[in-house]
Amino acid sequence: MFSDLADRKAQARRVVRQLKKDYPIAECALNYETPFQLLIATILSAQCTDVRVNIVTKDLFAQYPDAHAMARAPVKTLEKLVQTTGFFRNKAKNIHAASQALDEKFDGEVPQDLAVLVDLPGVGRKTANVVLGTAFGIPSGIVVDTHVGRLTKRMGLTDKADAVKIEKELLEIVPKKEWIQFSHRLIHHGRAICAARKPKCHDCHFAKFCPQVGVA
């Protein structure tokens, strides 16, 4: 439908304009005080709601506020603290190992480099892009999570399924200065209106140019 690049760019402009109108201030919904804490919260957010992550990180960060402290926490204790976010053994292992790496190699600071971030345990492109964009204001790419993937496909901005391919296509049609806010706004819209299972198309301001409306 929007296979042509020019068409997808035009559609991207409509989407960005409406996003700005509907969600003028779209921030990360995860609670954090430092880049390190945002990194940990984002690792924990895999397959889990941000609301639940915030419940867990309240106690987690009270006990282990930085990389130096978390690197010295017993993994079993971390497992208990992050248990309700799902995948808790992997997540506990990853936040512990990532904290150790940061503490030993980077003096506890979070490096502002996508390749270095992706090298940390439990950190992929999605998490790295969140940290660089939200904590440091560096537009290193576009965060493609389950919401961004679903909405950009519905709105005709991409027809890809793979997150990396979706990001590549989005980078071509969304202005760089919009990259950081673009994802946050789509995520808000995905939660409030364009839900995965029962989208509220009647309340959706994007319906007038959304190719998905009326489609089974």
Binding-site ranges for DNA (CB under 7 A) = 28-30, 42-43, 45-52, 83-90, 94, 118, 120-128, 130, 143, 145-147, 150, 163, 184, 187, 190-191, 195-198
Q: Which of 103, 107, 126, 165 is catalytic?
A: 126
- Is 187:146 a contact under the CB 8 Å cutoff? no
Dmax (CA) for the chain in angstroms is 55
| Measured distance CA(125)–CA(40) in Å, rounded | 14
Query: Which amino acid is located at 2 in the chain?
Result: F
Q: How far is the CB of 168 from DNA (least distance, A)?
A: 15
Tell me if residue 126 is catalytic: yes
Tell me if residue 145 is catalytic: yes
User: 122: phi > 0 → left, psi -120 to 50 → alpha, else beta; which?
Assistant: left
Q: Which is nearer to DNA, 12 or 30 (CB)?
A: 30
Q: Which of 145, 153, 159, 165 is catalytic?
A: 145
Q: Which is nearer to DNA, 5 or 200 (CB)?
A: 200
| Measured distance CA(23)–CA(6) in Å, rounded | 25
User: Alpha helix locations (H) across the chain?
Assistant: 5-22, 35-44, 50-63, 67-71, 75-82, 88-105, 114-118, 125-130, 136, 146-154, 163-173, 179-192
Q: How far is the CB of 162 from DNA (least distance, A)?
A: 9
Catalytic residues: 126, 145
